[in-house]
Structure 1
Amino acid sequence: MSLYKFAKFVVSLLFYPLYRIQVIGRENIPKEGPVIICSNHISNLDPPVVGITSTRDVNFMAKGELFEKGFLRKLLININAFPVKRGMRDRNALRKGLDILNDGKTLGLFPEGTRSKSGQLGKPLAGVGFFALRSNAKIVPCAIIGPYKPLKRLQVIYGKPIDFESLRGSKISPQDAADVIMKEIGKLMK
């Protein structure tokens, strides 16, 4: 059993009863081919929650500073995370994300790039639009709703894949594509 599968099993055992996780729309995640799961970001616990509720193994970008310590670096790499330098265009992270998608795998992104302290959706970064436009991935919006408080219900809602075929053929900018994705996440939160 890989470290990813073991971690998913252990975190599931802890998080499902602790946060009374309810998953809606899991069937909207395509079983095969490249997928980008795009979720709102309200807690540091969002990546493991998306990871355990998804039907597929998910690769996440994580802030580069987390990869500076040897042990943590090895752990993150073994649970499908890769570093991104925040606040600048990180060509290595962009290339790594596209490689994951070109291999038919799943990439998990938080379009806002940082946690929302208020729980309200913020402005998305253009990076998510870049991946959506430069790959043939299905884009699955996801909303995490509720507090991360013990025994309070936490909902994870996966929406139907966003039709990006027509957008890919147009001259839409990565920022406009990111705005389209964010709007779909917002619809799931209502």
Structure 2
Amino acid sequence: MSLYKLGKWICTILFYPLYRINVIGKENIPKKGPVIICSNHISNLDPPIVGITSSRNIYFMAKEELFKNPVIGGILKRVHAFPIKRGMRDRNALRQGLGVLKDNHALGLFPEGTRQKSGEIGKGLAGAGFFALRSNAYIVPCAIIGPYEKWRPLKVVYGEPIDMTTYRQEKASAQVVTDRIMEEIRQLHKIHQ
């Protein structure tokens, strides 16, 4: 059993009962082909929560500082995470992300770039739009509706894939595409709150 599968199994056993996780719209995640799952970001637990509620194995970007610890960095690499330098354009991370999609895998992104502890959905950074425009991936919005409190229900809602055809044809800016993705996440959050 790979470390990814083992981690997913352990997190499923721990988190589903602890947070009474309710998953909505899991069928909206395409079973094959490149997929970008874009979620709001409210907790450090968001990556494992998206990981265990998704039907696909997901590759996540994680802040570079986490990889400086040899133990944590080693584990992260084995559970499909790769480093990104925050606050600057990281060409290596962009290449790795596009490589994940080219290989028909799922890439998990938190477009806000940082946690929104208030639970409000913030503005997304252009990175999500960059990956959406530079690949043929399906874009699946995801809303995590908290709070992360023991025994209180936590919802994870996956929306229908966003059609990027027009944006790609019109060569829209990465920020315009990210704004559209964030609006879809906001709508999911509002409808299912």
TM-score, reference length from structure 2: 0.98
What is the alpha-carbon distance in structure 1 between the residues aligned to residue 145 and residue 128 of structure 2? Answer: 21
Aligned to 2:13: 13
1:54 equivalent to 2:50? Answer no
* SS in structure 1 at match of 2:161: coil
Q: Shift of residue 146 of structure 1?
A: 1.6
What is the alpha-carbon distance in structure 2 between the residues aligned to residue 59 and residue 93 of structure 1? Answer: 12
Residue identity in the other structure for 2:107: L
Aligned to 1:37: 37
What is the alpha-carbon distance in structure 2 between the residues aligned to residue 91 and residue 60 of structure 1? Answer: 16
1:129 equivalent to 2:143? Answer no
Residue identity in the other structure for 2:53: T
What is the alpha-carbon distance in structure 2 between the residues aligned to residue 100 and residue 119 of structure 1? Answer: 29
What is the alpha-carbon distance in structure 2 between the residues aligned to residue 47 and residue 117 of structure 1? Answer: 15
Aligned pairs for 1:104-183 within 5 A: 104-183=104-183
What is the alpha-carbon distance in structure 2 between the residues aligned to residue 129 and residue 158 of structure 1? Answer: 18
Asked if 1 retains the 8 angstrom alpha-carbon contact of 2:40 and 2:121, the reply is: yes
1:25 equivalent to 2:25? Answer yes
Asked if 1 retains the 8 angstrom alpha-carbon contact of 2:119 and 2:146, the reply is: no
What is the alpha-carbon distance in structure 1 between the residues aligned to residue 171 and residue 37 of structure 2? Answer: 23
Aligned residues: 190
Q: Shift of residue 171 of structure 1?
A: 2.5
Q: Shift of residue 156 of structure 1?
A: 0.2
Aligned pairs for 1:43-82 within 5 A: 43-82=43-82
Identity rate, percent: 65
* SS in structure 1 at match of 2:112: coil
Deviation per residue, 1:9-66 (Å, 9 max, x gap): 0000000000000000000000000000000000000000000000000000000000
Residue identity in the other structure for 2:126: A
What is the alpha-carbon distance in structure 2 between the residues aligned to residue 84 and residue 187 of structure 1? Answer: 28
TM-score, reference length from structure 1: 0.99
Aligned to 2:91: 91
Structure 1 gaps of 5+ residues are none
* SS in structure 2 at match of 1:8: helix
Asked if 1 retains the 8 angstrom alpha-carbon contact of 2:63 and 2:83, the reply is: yes
Q: Shift of residue 69 of structure 1?
A: 1.0
What is the alpha-carbon distance in structure 1 between the residues aligned to residue 31 and residue 149 of structure 2? Answer: 31
Q: Shift of residue 118 of structure 1?
A: 1.2
Query: What is the RMSD of the two structures over their aligned residues, measured on CA atoms?
Result: 0.5
Residue identity in the other structure for 1:44: N
